[in-house]
Amino acid sequence: EENNVIMATVFNDSVIIHPPGFYITGLQTFPYIFLAFVYVVTLLFNCLVIYVIILNYCLHTPKFLAVGNLAVIDVILSTSIIPSMIKVFLIKDNFVPFNMCLVQIYVYYSFVSLESYALAILAYDRLIAICFPLHQNSINILRSMSYIIGLTWCFSLGINGFGTGMMTRLSFCNSLKVFSYFCDYIPVYTLACNDYTMQITVGTSLTFLILIVPFTLICLSYISILVTVYRMKSLDSRVKALGTCIEHIILVAVFYIPLITIFIFALYLHFINADLPLLSMSLASCTPPCINPIVYSLKTKEIRNRALALVRKTKIGTDQLKKRHWRVVTRKM
Give the tens place of pLDDT for each residue, 291-302. Answer: 888 887 666 776
CB contact at 8 A, 89 and 28:
yes
Q: Give residue 220's identity as a one-letter amino acid code.
A: L
Cβ-Cβ contacts under 8 Å for 175 (sequence gap 6 or more): 191
Least confident of 1-15, 111-125, 231-245, 297-311: 1-15
CATH topology for the 21-304 domain? Rhopdopsin 7-helix transmembrane proteins (1.20.1070)
Confidence of residue 101 (pLDDT cuts 50, 70, 90): very high
CB 88 within 8 A of CB 167: no
Count CA atoms closer than 13 A to 100's CA, side-chain side: 13
Q: If we measure between CA atoms, which residue out of 184, 190, 152, 155 comes closest to residue 170?
A: 190
d(CA 113, CA 65): 18
Kindly report, residue by residue over 315-331, the tens digit of the pLDDT: 665 555 555 655 655 66
pLDDT: is 201 or 269 the higher one?
A: 201
Say how far apart CA 25 and CA 15 lie, in whole Å.
Answer: 28
Query: Which residue pairs from 227-233 have beta carbons closer than 8 angstroms and sit at least 24 positions apart in sequence?
Result: 228/130, 228/131, 229/130
Beta-carbon-side half-sphere exposure of residue 277 (alpha carbons within 13 Å): 18
Cα 158 to the chain's mean position, in Å?
17
Whether residue 8 has pLDDT greater than 50: no
Report the predicted TM-score, pTM, of the whole model to 2 decimal places.
0.85
Nearest-angstrom CA–CA distance, 200 and 254:
27
Cβ neighbours, 10 Å, residue 97: 13
Q: Which residue has the higher pLDDT, 310 or 189?
A: 189
pLDDT digits (tens, 9 = 90+) for 42-73: 999 999 889 888 988 888 899 899 999 999 99
